[in-house]
Structure 1
């Protein structure tokens, strides 16, 4: 038998058991904790024992007389913290699986309803169409909707939704909670979702049968801090994606509409497989009457920087078109505008005016350092327009050249950038496609509609390059439609 008496007054529960498993004695802490009848025969050293809603690690000490002293070490708080840490890790992993704000709100509501409350409501800051709201009851599927809420009806909610300055959680009296939030509940806590750079919203936790404890509310704040970062990251990503999409849409060449007397088609391909914009561009604008203004150009460089300069050039040309239609004056004004911004971003460009005539189409072309247009006759003859000129945006005074051609029905005028002719590839992978090869290829394209012509040119260049790198490519075809027989 144990003879040391100091264990009797230890704050750690302990009991002495004989070889048959009968309890021979308990210290004061054990008498307070354990019921009258207790059987430690199923206890295992180091394993947890649940007693009176708490968790204890059972540790045995064997004695020479065959008795065993079982010490019960309270590990409830440690076990709870460990479980909560594991839970937060799983929650963080789940929250980071999506960069969609609606999906993030759904995950937050599901996790909160499963682990923190009977029901969870996630409310995002107000948008143009109301507050995005996700609701979830434990064991049920979450719902998402845009709702028109009076957030001032809930104490602390409007402050939480603002995101800054930071505010603490607020305990809400269920008796004064609006019906849109909750009915017939026992406890409500409004916890801010602190975002990262933007307001993420608020998390409302609802219990129907018991109150939240301060410890549970503190854990809810930890969860809310991670949820807020995930939601705000998704919101920022979505905002940036929308901005990028809008800007990209403005920088891309336009979709060409149909015209009664002119058959038009364009193709554009950025230099990188992951890029959508670059330094090549084309535009078509309607002039008074049946005339069209066309422009195709190539900004020095590629990628986003070149695309930004492309946007400036296109905007400048569109503005100049409102006050001047003479090609030489327009290109001179564009040159002066570029000289005042960035001389490292010069361009080559060709502008044209297209108008219907009895013979087909009259096309007037003026070039500022750009490759000459190719005239593809319906019979297969390919002519080179007499247009060259100097670069735009690098010299104080530019030289431009103008040529005028008439396109008979079935004839086409092809404008293109050097991404086509300088495409490197071929059988050995080190040869440029070249202007001569392009002209020879076009001899088989006489009479092609504009759409088929630009598609064929792009296909030729793509095949020549293969899987190799290439520059931006842009092609614009102006075709005189064939007349319908009466």
Structure 2
């Protein structure tokens, strides 16, 4: 639809009146004939009957009205003229708003006002808002997980879905191999560990070292290594972005974005946003790496602090149970160890202790005490010397805490022909609760061994007692977390040693494991859901043989000061 009629340019008369008429009427007024805004006069049939110079430049006569303006002109009102209001569209890549006003003889005058700049500003603002929302969303998702593989997966999937057609996260090398995470837009994420050459990709080796990124225009997609293409990615690659993933002090890897030739190449704005996204992802990945490293170190250290697994040694049963004061922790201030002798003719050295305090600080001192006692094993036959050397080590330490201990040297001795085997113990307390002997007939006897705590005074003295266990009898070592447990009907009463002794009557001839589990169960029931201190129990049992037993030898006071 072209121009139906063309009129000569309008000429302003000396009197200032408007000229240029068609059929006696004014076609284009003097007010807008030379206006910078395009103005069209359109007849009822949709043909352009007149236009000012700006409109003629914008609309070549052979093309006529653009479709969006022609559609608006054809929508009549009840009065027979096009619908009032503002319509918008594009012409030659430029954006316009069109306003209509009635003319003569059913004609309509269309005024076009360009708003390309406004539209571009709105589009830029909308894009920035979307990108900001995306960054906030991604930051929340990434920082919600401290798992390295999960962070890499989220980074690759989000980058492929929102920034490119495919994405690859290359993590720092682990030995000679790099962890790789591949993602395609709308596809699955693949993670693998492969031996690759970063120098085969322009700018990748530098990105992995944390250097500034290589501009996208410098990267030739045809030079990309085959290992960089995600599995299942179709089509030639048209544009590539390689962005470093900055971390806390050291790089967290590199992010590679790929766009196929079926889409437009990355713009400068998209490249800048990709690097901003990579910075957020790198921070999350670095935090995950740091957490994983610290978790690994903590797990290694905790492994050394955890109570050992106990079993039968040289014919004697050992069992222990430890419950820290905080259920979410694995270690605390209570501990026990069993160090078997080289053979049945040598003593097994047993220690149970309680360090002042709770939690990891107490556990740190616990670890030191256990290490010192490990070094003193060659001297374990002399409890006094062991306690003296341990006391000296703690006094010279930066720790200001003390500990109570009970030491036991255990050896099984076979009786004369026809007699049952006995277990002989030498027990020494260093400020600790008295061990309890559970006899085969159900009687419970405390062992009267006394001594001073270690780590508090320049000199420590202790009193040792020898005890004999007949078959079916047990020596129970425990910490004050058991007897000081607050609970009961009113919730504030101590469990106490008298209740413990009474409960142990039921444990005659029971295996060592059953004894400690029974004690811990009773303490837990007494506590209910209340708070408690660290609780540790260790049982040394001479296994019952199934034959009738008799009392052989009672533990006696050696009368010596250890």
Q: Which runs of 5+ in 2 are unaligned?
A: 1-27, 76-82, 230-234, 415-420, 548-562
Q: Which residue of 1 is the match for residue 271 of structure 2?
A: 217
Distance 1:354 1:46 in 2: 100
Q: Which one of the candidate residues 63, 68, 74 is aligned to 2:119?
A: 74
2:168–2:180 contact (8 Å) kept in structure 1: yes
Alignment partner of 1:199 is 2:251: yes
What do the CA deviations read for 1:373-416 (whole angstroms, capped 9, x no partner)? 00011211101112121111111111111111111111000000
Distance 1:437 1:162 in 2: 66
Q: Which residue of 1 is the match for residue 464 of structure 2?
A: 402
Distance 1:212 1:218 in 2: 10
Other structure's SS at 1:186 match: strand
What do the CA deviations read for 1:356-380 (whole angstroms, capped 9, x no partner)? 1123211111111111100011211
Alignment partner of 1:284 is 2:338: yes
Instruction: Compare 318-327 and 134-143 and name the one that shifted more.
Output: 318-327
Instruction: Within 5 Å, give how 1:174-193 maps onto structure 2.
Output: 174-182=221-229, 184-193=236-245
Instruction: Within 5 Å, give how 1:236-315 maps onto structure 2.
Output: 236-290=290-344, 291-315=347-371
Alignment partner of 1:134 is 2:181: yes
Distance 1:142 1:239 in 2: 25
CA separation of 1:64 and 1:37: change in aligned 2, threshold 3 A: closer
What do the CA deviations read for 1:400-454 (whole angstroms, capped 9, x no partner)? 1111111111100000000000111111111111111111111111111111100
2:180–2:191 contact (8 Å) kept in structure 1: yes
Q: Which residue of 1 is the match for residue 396 of structure 2?
A: 340
Alignment partner of 1:481 is 2:526: no
Q: Which residue of 1 is the match for residue 513 of structure 2?
A: 451
CA separation of 1:351 and 1:448: change in aligned 2, threshold 3 A: same
Q: Which residue of 1 is the match for residue 36 of structure 2?
A: 9
2:181–2:192 contact (8 Å) kept in structure 1: yes
Q: Which residue of 2 is the match for residue 112 of structure 1?
A: 159
CA separation of 1:474 and 1:324: change in aligned 2, threshold 3 A: closer
Distance 2:143 2:87 in 1: 35
Other structure's SS at 1:223 match: helix
Distance 2:534 2:274 in 1: 53
CA separation of 1:114 and 1:343: change in aligned 2, threshold 3 A: closer
Distance 1:307 1:31 in 2: 86
Distance 2:53 2:535 in 1: 88
Residue 29 of structure 1, CA deviation: 9.0
2:317–2:543 contact (8 Å) kept in structure 1: yes
Distance 2:280 2:535 in 1: 46
Alignment partner of 1:122 is 2:169: yes
Q: Which one of the candidate residues 381, 387, 393 is aligned to 2:449?
A: 387
TM-score by length of 1: 0.89
Distance 2:29 2:284 in 1: 58
Other structure's SS at 1:259 match: coil
CA separation of 1:36 and 1:452: change in aligned 2, threshold 3 A: farther
1:166–1:194 contact (8 Å) kept in structure 2: no
Distance 2:404 2:467 in 1: 21
Residue 96 of structure 1, CA deviation: 3.1
Distance 2:33 2:459 in 1: 104
Residue 60 of structure 1, CA deviation: 6.6
Alignment partner of 1:354 is 2:354: no
Other structure's SS at 2:376 match: helix
Residue 82 of structure 1, CA deviation: 2.8
What do the CA deviations read for 1:171-218 (whole angstroms, capped 9, x no partner)? 422333222124943332211111234421001112220533323211
Distance 1:344 1:95 in 2: 42
Other structure's SS at 2:227 match: coil
CA separation of 1:413 and 1:219: change in aligned 2, threshold 3 A: same
Distance 2:34 2:130 in 1: 31
Q: Which residue of 2 is the match for residue 37 of structure 1?
A: 65
Alignment partner of 1:159 is 2:186: no
Distance 1:466 1:431 in 2: 12
1:263–1:478 contact (8 Å) kept in structure 2: yes
Q: Which runs of 5+ in 1 are unaligned?
A: none
CA separation of 1:107 and 1:317: change in aligned 2, threshold 3 A: same
Distance 2:56 2:289 in 1: 54
Q: Which residue of 1 is the match for residue 131 of structure 2?
A: 84
1:343–1:394 contact (8 Å) kept in structure 2: no
Residue 148 of structure 1, CA deviation: 0.9
Other structure's SS at 1:232 match: helix
Alignment partner of 1:226 is 2:280: yes
Other structure's SS at 1:264 match: strand
Distance 1:332 1:7 in 2: 109
Distance 1:17 1:453 in 2: 105
Other structure's SS at 1:284 match: strand
1:45–1:59 contact (8 Å) kept in structure 2: no
Instruction: Compare 73-82 and 346-355 and name the one that shifted more.
Output: 73-82
Greater radius of gyration (CA)? 2
What do the CA deviations read for 1:76-96 (whole angstroms, capped 9, x no partner)? 333332332233333333333
CA separation of 1:6 and 1:250: change in aligned 2, threshold 3 A: farther
